[in-house]
Amino acid sequence: MAPSGRDQDRTDDNPSRCARPPRRVAPLAVCGAAAAGLLLAGCGDDGGKAASPSAAGSPSGSRAPTVTGPSPAPERPLTTDQAERKALVPAAKADWEQAARAATGDVTGGKLLAVELKRAPDGGPEWHAEVATADGTSHSVVVDGVTGKVVKSSADTDQDSDDKHERADHLKAARVTPRDAATTATGRRKGTVTTLELETSDEKTGGGGKLIWKVDVVTPNDWNKTTYDIDAADRAVLREHVDHD
């Protein structure tokens, strides 16, 4: 039966009787949706990548402190001799071989007995060479350590016959050349040759009085000097000594 006009009016006047009350959304669902929205927004801002652990775990967004290893030990200061080598050796643009060529070329028929890098009176580097002729006469020759040119040359005075004979015998007996001796030494330790001298080894050091080339090599990483006794007959290394001073 259709409702009467009065019943219809009652229904319209009291809508609460027919309208169903709205459903309430649980607070947890709202919070979950909000959290999901934030997560999606974060992913969208980062090109689809997940947030880094450091950013997620740090409320302020600051980076975690970087863990580093122990600090390296401070370098040991150079000794006086090491500091002198560090200043002198790199300044010598002419090496021992250039100095030897200049010195022997200055003395007719001369052969190298010794060459050593020293500091000149003006503070620069210079090579002091000893050159002997076939009869054993000795000449002192100074070579500029930068240009490789002879600065001064003279025959040594007061040379007795015994010394001359000894030098002449040494030159005849030495089958190993200065270059071979230097190559042997630097083959054992890379560095700069600062001294090369033909002499008789000291019996106290186990050399037995043999004829040797004494070669000093300075290493640029620590500026130590290593001395080698090279047998002048067969290039055998008879002695090696490192000067740490």
Statement: residue 34 has pLDDT above 80? no
Residue 128 pLDDT: 99
Q: How many degrees, rounded to 5, is the angle at CA 131 between CA 111 and CA 188?
A: 70
The amino acid at residue 86 is K
CATH code for 82-243?
A: 3.10.450.40
Residue 77 pLDDT: 92
Residue 99 pLDDT: 99
The span from the CA of 9 to the CA of 20, in Å, is: 19
What is the rounded average pLDDT of the residues 190-201?
A: 97
Residue 27 pLDDT: 44
CB count in 10 Å sphere of residue 109: 11
213 forms bridges with which residues in the sheet?
198, 230
The span from the CA of 203 to the CA of 111, in Å, is: 26
What is the rounded average pLDDT of the residues 162-168?
A: 96
Statement: residue 245 has pLDDT above 60? yes
- Cβ distance 230 to 189 under 8 Å? no
First to last CA, the chain: 125
Residue 165 pLDDT: 96
Task: Tell me which DSSP letter residue 121 carries.
Answer: T
Can you point out the beta strands (E) in the chain? 111-119, 125-132, 138-144, 150-155, 192-200, 211-218, 225-231, 237-243
- Cβ distance 140 to 128 under 8 Å? yes
Q: Which two tokens stand for residue 78?
A: 């150079």
pLDDT, greater one: 245 or 174: 174
Q: Sketch the domain layout of the chain as residue ranges.
A: 21-59, 82-243
Tell me the pLDDT tens digit for each residue of 72-104: 556 789 999 999 999 999 999 999 999 999 999
The span from the CA of 243 to the CA of 245, in Å, is: 6
Statement: residue 230 has pLDDT above 90? yes
